[in-house]
Structure 1
Amino acid sequence: MGISPDAALALREARTRAFSDAFYLIMMGFLLAALLVPLMKKPPAH
């Protein structure tokens, strides 16, 4: 009793979506860190 092609495709699609979501979150985290670190280090100008 093997997995049907549709099930395999859905599984691979879900895995790809989860990976892209994780990648997106990591990239957003890096962007936020890159923006926040300089703000934290130097005193506010105004």
Structure 2
Amino acid sequence: MAYQTTLGWSLISSGIVTLILKVLPYDSLWWGLLLLVLGIAILYLRIS
């Protein structure tokens, strides 16, 4: 059950991020990298 919830949230958040990247100015590559680093930082802080 936890796997399905995680998968669902992952799909929802990736969809939202895709929509945001379409709206944001500048190159979406930089926004993608920024969000990736932010996600890794949040996961790291949550684990430790």
TM-score, normalisation: structure 2: 0.49
* Cα distance in 1 for residues equivalent to 2:13 and 2:20: 10
Identity rate, percent: 8
1:22 match? 6
TM-score, normalisation: structure 1: 0.51
Which has the larger helix fraction? Answer: 2
Moved over 6 A (4+): none
Q: Which runs of 5+ in 2 are unaligned?
A: 27-48
* Cα distance in 2 for residues equivalent to 1:32 and 1:23: 14
Greater radius of gyration (CA): 1
- Aligned residues: CA RMSD: 1.4
How many pairs are equivalent? Answer: 26
